Structure 1
Amino acid sequence: MKKIKNCFRIIILLNSIISYSQNRAILILDSVTKLPIETVNIYYPEIQEGTFTNSDGEASINIRDYDLKISHIAYQEKNINSKELQNSNTFYLTPKSIDLDEVVVSSFNLNKALLYVLKNYEKLYENQAFEKECNFKETLSIDNKLKRLILTKVNWWSKSYQIKHLSDLKMRLGAIDYNINNPMDVFMDIPKDNIPSNSGFINTTNLISSIYLNSFLVNFIKYNPDLEAVIEKSSDNELIVSFTSDWKSTSNYLYRSKGKIIFDKKTKAIISITNEVENQNRITKSFTVRGNKRFSYENINSVSILNFIKNKSNHWSLNSFEVSADFNITYNDVKHNGNIKNNLFVLKDTPMEKVKNLGLINLSKPIYQNLPKDNITTASSILLSNEERSFIDVNSGIKNR
């Protein structure tokens, strides 16, 4: 009888371990349009761990014994308990309904608001040493066809969410899900000039400095001293401000900034910022390496997006970061459209005073040049979209996971 009881105990223990480690597929849709919502943060606030939806509104979350929070800057938050999670895998978010306050005026002193954030930076944003377990994702598309797909874990350690020197941070490579980097297929008559390194990348040092809001704002203010800003929407909790700069000229081209910033009304902190730099006639003319044939590269725009959530210590913490650029390559009188995008998704946030120096990223190189050629899969990661899964299938024979 004791043996039977012990067997039951073992079975129950095994079941609890298995259920604890289970993943749950989740689909997030807009309650009005019924369309999927991208970059929804699905996380456990108690342990500051979670994931994000892909462009198909899909995510996979590890089942924990905590309530889930589903969050997106444009939607009302939703809390899900463990029972709801077991009974359903589709959840709907309601768009935020933000009405203008009666006291709202059209103009807004954006420069003053940004200087306030910088002056009170340590009070508003996390100010202790941390390590964030992140997914880094990079895609490159030419003529709307994927050419590069990198998805890897990156462990980001920093003394605080404030950067003064690159020595204040360490970025280490973790498990690699996918690393496919195909030729551009632009120089059709000179195949060897289509090598991936010619297709461009986002400078890693600039990428790192941009994920720190203090560095981002200092550069933003420096290059945009005279912005026209208006209050677009206002509610009890949030203030949404849109901005546009005048066109400015350099020796070769014109550029301007435009975008949107969401402020938390209570703390006056920035909780989301989108900045697009538009270019006119920013064209570089060059020659192919092997054929010495003329081609031109046009930088159309670049977009940076930072989003924040509150952590357990009641400070604002970076939740996700995106930087992308649109460009054209004209060769043999044929214009090819391109887009390159880097995303950083924070999956887990842990206070940590020190970390080891193993696997540090060389910040002078693009991320993909830091990666080994072999794929190392991991179960816990951002899900690929249908388009990306098809790309993986074609290039490596890996079936949909």
Structure 2
Amino acid sequence: MRKIKNCFRIILLLNSIISYSQNREILILDSATKLPVETVNIYYPEIQEGTFTNSDGKATINIREYDLRISHIAYQEKIINSKELQNLNTLYLTPKSVILDEVIVSSFNITKALKYVLENYENLYENQPFEKECNFKETLSIDNNLKRLIVTKVNWWSRSYNYRQLRDLKLRLGSIDFNINNPMDIFTDIPKENIPSNSGFIDTKNLINNVYLNIFLINFIKINPKLNFIIENSSANEILVSFTSDWKKRYTYSFRSKGKIIFDKETKAIISFTNEVENKNRVTKSYTIRANKEFSYETISSSSILNFQKNKNNKWTVNSFEVSADFNITYNDVKHNGNIKNNLYVLKNTQIEKVKNAGLINLSKPIYQNLPKDIVTNSNAILLSEEERNFIDVNDVVKNK
């Protein structure tokens, strides 16, 4: 009888381990439009671990014995326990209700609000050493066709979320899920000019200057001392402000900023910042390396998006970041449209004083040039979109021919 009981206990234990390690794919839709919602944060606050939905509104989450928080800056937050998660396939998010607070409208000053964040920065944002386990994704598209797809784990260590100098920051590569970097196929009459190293990239130091809010704000205020703004709407806890700057002349081109900022009403912290820089006539002429033939590169616009959430210490912390650029390349009188995008998704946050230096990224190079070619796994935490999966399938077919 005792043996039977022991066997029964082992079976129960195995069942609990299996159920604990289960993954659940979730589809998240807008309750009104029934359209998929991208970059929804699906997160266990208790262990500071989670993931995000892709452009198809899908995500895979490990089932843990904790409450799960479903949040997006534009939607009402939901809390789901592990039992509910077991049977959950599709979840609908409700857009946040909009109110207009006349007191805020009459008294709000965007420049003062930005300076307040800088002056109180260390009280608002995490100020202890941390390590964030992230998914980094880079895509490059030419004429709406994917040419580059890189998905890799990146561990981001910093003394605090207050950027001062490079030595206070370390980025370390983890497992590489996908590393496909195809030629742009723009220089059709000179195939050797199309090597991936000639294609565009976003400088890693520029990424750093955008992902740390303090240095981003210093630069933003310096470039935009005066902004035109409108308080679009407000929820119970947030104020959403849209802004534009006047056009400014620099060298031979003109530019302006526009975007949206969401402030937390209670702390006055910035919890979401979207900034787009539009350009006019930002054209650079260059020549191919081998044939010395002229082509032109035009930067149309660039944008950056920072989103935050509160950590266990009640400080605001980055949970996702995106930077992208739209451009044109004209060669042999043919104009090609391009887009390059880098995304950083924070999957897990840990307070840690020191980290090892093994595998550190060279911050003077673009991230894709730091990737070893032979270390590829399939432990992808952020689900790929249908377009990205098709791109991988096509490349696998080509590789196996």
Contact map agreement 1:107 1:230 (CA 8 A) in 2: no
The AA in structure 2 aligned to 1:200 is: G
Counterpart Cα distance in 2 of 1:27 and 1:250: 45
Superposition deviation, residue 104 in structure 1: 4.1
Counterpart Cα distance in 2 of 1:396 and 1:155: 28
Q: Alignment identity in percent? A: 78
Contact map agreement 2:176 2:377 (CA 8 A) in 1: yes
Q: Secondary structure at the match of 1:360?
A: coil
Counterpart Cα distance in 1 of 2:265 and 2:164: 28
Match of 1:30 in 2: 30
The AA in structure 2 aligned to 1:128 is: Q
Can you list the C-alpha shifts for 1:120-153, whole angstroms capped at 9, x where unaligned? Answer: 0011001111100000000000000000000000
Unmatched tracts of structure 2, length 5 or more: none
Map 1:1-400 to 2 at 5 A.
Answer: 1-105=1-105, 108-397=108-397
Counterpart Cα distance in 1 of 2:273 and 2:176: 29
The AA in structure 2 aligned to 1:269 is: A
Contact map agreement 2:63 2:86 (CA 8 A) in 1: no
Superposition deviation, residue 9 in structure 1: 2.1
Counterpart Cα distance in 2 of 1:17 and 1:169: 37
From the superposition, tell whether residues 117 and 76 of structure 1 become closer, same or farther in structure 2 (CA, over 3 Å): same
Comparing 224-233 and 326-335, the one that deviates more: 224-233
Superposition deviation, residue 8 in structure 1: 2.2
Q: Secondary structure at the match of 2:154?
A: strand
Contact map agreement 1:106 1:231 (CA 8 A) in 2: no
Counterpart Cα distance in 2 of 1:235 and 1:279: 33
Contact map agreement 1:108 1:230 (CA 8 A) in 2: no
Comparing 372-381 and 157-166, the one that deviates more: 372-381
Contact map agreement 1:130 1:158 (CA 8 A) in 2: yes
The AA in structure 1 aligned to 2:231 is: I
Superposition deviation, residue 397 in structure 1: 4.5
Can you list the C-alpha shifts for 1:249-306, whole angstroms capped at 9, x where unaligned? Answer: 0121000001110000110000000000000000001111112111100000000000
Counterpart Cα distance in 2 of 1:14 and 1:362: 44
Q: Secondary structure at the match of 1:34?
A: coil
Superposition deviation, residue 388 in structure 1: 0.2
Q: TM-score, normalised by structure 1?
A: 0.97
From the superposition, tell whether residues 371 and 32 of structure 1 become closer, same or farther in structure 2 (CA, over 3 Å): same
The AA in structure 2 aligned to 1:346 is: V
Count of residue correspondences: 398
Counterpart Cα distance in 2 of 1:390 and 1:130: 36
Contact map agreement 2:175 2:379 (CA 8 A) in 1: no
Contact map agreement 2:128 2:159 (CA 8 A) in 1: yes
Can you list the C-alpha shifts for 1:332-379, whole angstroms capped at 9, x where unaligned? Answer: 111100000000000000111111111100001111111011252243
Unmatched tracts of structure 1, length 5 or more: none
The AA in structure 1 aligned to 2:32 is: V
- Which stretches of structure 1, 4 residues or longer, exceed 3 Å deviation after superposition? none
Contact map agreement 2:362 2:370 (CA 8 A) in 1: yes
Comparing 7-16 and 247-256, the one that deviates more: 7-16
Q: TM-score, normalised by structure 2?
A: 0.97
Counterpart Cα distance in 2 of 1:235 and 1:25: 30
From the superposition, tell whether residues 298 and 106 of structure 1 become closer, same or farther in structure 2 (CA, over 3 Å): farther
